Amino acid sequence: MRQRLQGIEEFVAAVEAGSFALAAQRLHVTRSAVAKSIARLEGRLNTRLFLRTTRSQSLTEEGHGYYERCRRVLAELDAAEAMTDVARSIATGLVRLSMPAMLGRLKVGPLLLALARRHPELSLELAFSDRRVDLVEEGLDLAIRSGELADTSGLIARPVGMQWMALCAAPAYLAERGHPRSIDALEAPHEAVLYARDGQISSWRFHDAEGRLVDVTLPSRLRCDSAEVLLEAAVGGMGLARLPAWLAADALAAGTLVRVFEEPKPFGFELNVIRSRSRYLPFKTRW
């Protein structure tokens, strides 16, 4: 029985992904391994499943029929595994997860620690980094991303909240430079402390009174990839700062920062938990 199942998962993945290379990414193996498994499967069946050229691949008539049956078999296997997983209702094994540094340490990390305490058989490997990671390449189960998802073809995303932004400044800075009262007033002599990563500066985004998105970029003497440092710089009077509202909350409550003006419509970045596409989702990473 075990020999009869060999190569079927690779075959179905290759059909659904559209290429051996994409199937290899989904299965976390090499393209060569997928090709060899399918070649052995064709040899065992004594039939060609794919018509392959240098530029494309397509199923043979026999391949179409075989795919439909294999797909149903694997779906039944997935359902059986999921049923036993739910019956246990226990999260077990290792989950590798990446998340933005500050958000992860201050907000997500404590929630995951509480989760681990409730599930003693669950192990966590957490990476706190603002770097945009490749889940398949780095062997990650899940990642939390803030903002637009540009590379969703091989991913499944679930929105989990919004990261609302606040325009903040130290009272001393506003006393020295003047207090802008609207988006249109964000110009010289004002300057900013800006978030930048890999040499790319992130402009500020606002909604204007009509709800349209407006981008603003001010002169800056400080650009960095640490939101924590930007918070400290803003409190120190180095410039206006566009900060996550949750990060600025304590400083706003203490009066070391103030909101520069009330925005016509709040602007925020959507937070998503993402994972690679797969047919079977184990209980440890289920949402």
Helix H or strand E encompassing 153? none
Q: Each residue of 142-154: pLDDT tens digit?
A: 888 887 776 656 6
Phi, psi of 35 (to 5 degrees): -60, -40
Residue 161 CB-density burial (10 A; 0-12 exposed, 13-18 middle, 19+ buried): middle
Q: Give the per-residue pLDDT at 276.
A: 77
Stretch 62-90: mean pLDDT? 73
Domains and CATH numbers, the chain: 2-88 (1.10.10.10), 93-162+271-285 (3.40.190.10), 164-266 (3.40.190.290)
The residue type at 242: R
Which of the pair, 133 or 262, is modelled with greater confidence? Answer: 262
Q: Give the per-residue pLDDT at 287.
A: 46
Q: Give the per-residue pLDDT at 7.
A: 84
- Secondary structure percentages of the chain, helix, strand, coil, to 5: 40, 25, 30
Contact 271, 149 (CB under 8 A): no
Q: Each residue of 197-243: pLDDT tens digit?
A: 877 888 899 998 888 899 998 999 999 988 899 999 999 999 999 99
Q: Each residue of 240-287: pLDDT tens digit?
A: 999 999 999 999 999 999 999 999 889 998 888 888 765 445 555 554
Answer whether residue 117 shows pLDDT above 70.
yes
Instruction: Tell me which of 62-66, 71-75, 212-216 is least confident.
Output: 71-75
Q: Give the per-residue pLDDT at 279.
A: 44
pLDDT band at 3 (very low <50, low <70, confident <90, very high): low
Answer whether residue 137 shows pLDDT above 80.
no
**Distance from C-alpha of 166 to C-alpha of 239, rounded to nearest angstrom:** 14
Q: Give the per-residue pLDDT at 136.
A: 73
SS in 3 state form for 193-209? EEEEECCEECCEEEECC
Q: Give the per-residue pLDDT at 12.
A: 87
Question: HSE on the CB side for 157, CA within 13 Å?
Answer: 18
Question: Coil, helix or strand for 236?
Answer: coil
Sign (positive/negative) of CA torsion 171, 173, 176, 179? negative
Stretch 166-193: mean pLDDT? 94
Answer whether residue 86 shows pLDDT above 60.
no
Quick one: DSSP state of residue 284?
A: G
Contact 174, 189 (CB under 8 A): no
| Phi-psi label, residue 239: left if phi above 0, alpha if psi -120 to 50, beta otherwise | left
Query: pTM for the complete prediction?
Result: 0.61
Pairing of strands 142-146, 155-169: unpaired
Pairing of strands 192-197, 268-276: unpaired
